[in-house]
Amino acid sequence: MSSRTACITRATRETSIRMTLDLDGTGKTAVKTGIGFLDHLLDSLSRHARFDLMLTGEGDLQVDDHHTAEDCGLALGEALDRALGERRGVNRFGWALAPLDEALARAVVDLSGRPFADIALDLQRETIGELACENIPHVLRSLATAARITLHVDVLKGDNDHHRAEAAFKATALALRQAVALSGFDDVPSTKGTLGAARRE
């Protein structure tokens, strides 16, 4: 089996993101974005998906956290897309429930080649740490868009917004882990025979 890894550099006038991703890792992470709660969420996602993720990001935090959060999601999605290649031999679908104390989240993933995200976290606070709560679902939507996957995430219950957000990322991690896992078959799991052409380097 070829290595399912990707190295991404995303540089704009607003951010500079560098990362390496290994889908067949052990959950080893080193994440530093300058936004503590974003680091925490990306670390949790990678650890529970069993992805190895090394990510460093610098952004215009003097403006706000939006560009950094968005571009980290886009870069991670692009890395996932590249690492999957033509998506041959994967399970394709994944779904999971993840609790965190009183909170319970659900995530469903389809490595469809078609970007779509329906994210309903219903967070009530304005910020968690230095991360605006409106940017938490935006990270997941950005990931889904760049990865060309269908992603549904909703929080079924929970009183604490930290718990609700973290449970959502853990559920997404578990669903992704299931979807990217090798099925034992060497086909592209689609009646069309394709889940979208692999990106060209």
The boundaries of the domain holding residue 73 are 5-180
Say if 25 falls within a structural domain.
Answer: yes
- Domain CATH number, residue 48: 3.30.230.40
Q: Enter the pTM of the model.
A: 0.92
**In the prediction, which pLDDT does 186 show?**
76
Print burial letters for 71-92: b (CB count within 10 Å at least 16), e (below 16). Answer: bbbbbbbbbbbbbbbebbbbbb
Instruction: Give the Cα separation of 49 and 94 in Å (integer).
Output: 11
Question: What pLDDT sits at residue 156?
Answer: 98
Residue 29 in any domain: the answer is yes
Quick one: pLDDT at residue 40? 98
Q: How many domains does the chain have?
A: 1
> How many CB atoms are located within 10 Å of the residue 152 CB?
18
Q: Name residues of the chain where pLDDT drops below 70.
A: 1, 187-201
**pLDDT attached to residue 60:** 95
pLDDT, position 73: 98
Per-residue model confidence (pLDDT) at position 194: 59
